[in-house]
Amino acid sequence: MEHKNINVKLKVWRQKNSNDKGSFETYDAKNISQEMSFLEMFDVLNEELIGEGKDPIAFDHDCREGICGMCSMYINGRPHGPWEANTTCQLHMRAFNEGDTIVVEPWRANSFPVIKDLMVDRTAFDRIIQAGGYISVNTGNAVDANALPVDKAKADAAFAAAACIGCGACVAACKNSSAMLFVSAKVAHLNQLPQGEPEKNTRVLNMVAQMDKEGFGACTNTGACEAVCPKEISLTNIARLNAEYAVASLSATK
């Protein structure tokens, strides 16, 4: 495949810390190989900034292979940038052309406060999992794995939902900053499996309650979350959650 080098202009959100107001700054990224990943372009830019005695741009990243869910840039108005089913770390400069201006912002949601520049605090997701995103089984209690056959279709559906990487792109894309896709994926993963059956009702009620407590907005079925999800988590999970929530509410004893 043919590759060339390009020059692009970056408009990046800079914010010293959570108390700072923040603003955009413009940078020229010159002679960028299209074989670079988007984050490698930021590496190159940061090396230049350090060389000039300036503060490099802080951004979250770790695995750089699209699975840890740590990277989180809002690129030209879209979480994780222009490619479908992709994370920022896997976005490559082939996606851009000579002379492009690229606007890079952090996730914007009240429940994800900015820590610095492009980094945000997503611990709200951990607290939602703490509310019920697990199966209560202590170590050592398990029966033989094949003693509990699971319908392949259900196992596959549970896996598809469990592929969520918890990056928060769904929240960032949503006009209401709703976390419904994230929450519904976890509920769909666990509630479809026989192992998750006993706690099915409390799980959905408690996770939704925690989601509301964290200040995430309501879901209005726009579908922006599904469109940007790097793991293509389906909107049908939300429908399933709503149904399960209704059933659980009706059957709740208190």
Partner 1 sequence: MLNSKIPAGPLDTKWVNYKNTCKLVNPANKRSLEIIVIGTGLAGASAAAALGELGYKVKTFCFQDSPRRAHSIAAQGGINAAKNYQNDGDSTYRLFYDTIKGGDYRAREGNVHRLAEVSANIIDQCVAQGVPFAREYGGLLSNRSFGGTQVQRTFYAAGQTGQQLLIGAYQALERQIALGNVTQYSRHEMLDIVMIDGKARGIIARNLITGELERHFGHAVLLCTGGYGNVFYLSTNAMGSNVTAAWKAHKLGALFANPCFTQIHPTCIPVSGDHQSKLTLMSESLRNDGRIWVPKKQGDNRKSIDIPEEERDYYLERRYPAFGNLVPRDVASRAAKERCDAGYGVGTSKQAVYLDFAAAIQRYGKIEAGKRGIEADAATITQMGKDVVKEKYGNLFDMYAKITGENPYEEPMRIYPAVHYTMGGLWVDYELMTNIPGLYSLGEANFSDHGANRLGASALMQGLADGYFVIPYTIGNYLADEIRTKAIPTDHPAFADAESKVRDRIHMLMNIKGTKTVESFHKRLGKIMWDKCGMARNAEGLKQAIKEIQQLKNEFWSDVRIPGEINEMNPELDKANRVADFIELGELMCLDALNREESCGGHFREEHQTEDGEALRHDDKYMYVSAWEMKGDHDWQLHKEDLNYEVVKPSQRSYK
| 19 belongs to the binding site for partner 1 (CB under 8 A) | no
- Residue by residue, DSSP assigns 28-75 as EEEEEETTSBHHHHHHHHHHHHHHTTPPPPP---SSSSS-S-----EE
Q: Under the criterion CB under 8 A, does residue 150 sit at the interface with partner 1?
A: yes
3-state secondary structure of 138: coil
178: which DSSP letter?
Answer: B
Two tokens at 55? 């503060």
| Least distance in angstroms from the C-beta of 206 to partner 1 | 10
CB of 122 to partner 1, least distance (A): 6
Q: By C-beta, is 174 or 207 nearer to partner 1?
A: 207
- Number of residues counted as binding partner 1 (CB under 8 A): 82
Q: Is 17 in the site for partner 1 (CB under 8 A)?
A: yes
Residue 20 binding partner 1, by CB under 8 A: no
Give bridge partners of residue 217 from the DSSP assignment.
178
User: Structure tokens of 34?
Assistant: 């299209």
Site for partner 1 in 204-223 (CB under 8 A): none
Among 9, 37, 103, 223, binds partner 1 (CB under 8 A): 37
Compare residues 32 and 174 and give the one whose CB is closer to partner 1: 32
Instruction: Decide: is 28 part of the binding site for partner 1 (CB under 8 A).
Output: no
Least gap, CB of 67 to partner 1 (angstroms): 5
Q: Of 29 and 173, which has the nearer Cβ to partner 1?
A: 29
Compute the distance between CA of residue 223 and CA of residue 221 in angstroms, rounded to an integer.
5
Cα–Cα distance measured from residue 54 to residue 200, given in angstroms and rounded to the nearest whole number: 52
Q: Is 166 in the site for partner 1 (CB under 8 A)?
A: yes
Q: Which of residues 51 and 99 has its CB atom nearest to partner 1 in the complex?
A: 51
Strand partners, 180: none
Exactly one of 11, 64, 78, 108 binds partner 1 (CB under 8 A); that residue is: 64
Q: Which of 79, 133, 179, 240 binds partner 1 (CB under 8 A)?
A: 133
- 193 vs 229 by CB, closer to partner 1: 193
Q: How far is the CB of 43 from partner 1 (least distance, A)?
A: 6
Q: Which is nearer to partner 1, 82 or 218 (CB)?
A: 82
Single out the residue of 14, 40, 176, 226 in contact with partner 1 (rule: CB under 8 A).
40
How many CA atoms within 13 Å lie on the side-chain side of 34? 12
* Cross-strand partners of 9: 28, 101
Residue identified by tokens 């990487």 is: 165
3-state SS class at 115:
strand
Q: Measure the CA–CA gap between 208 and 240, rounded to whole angstroms.
A: 13
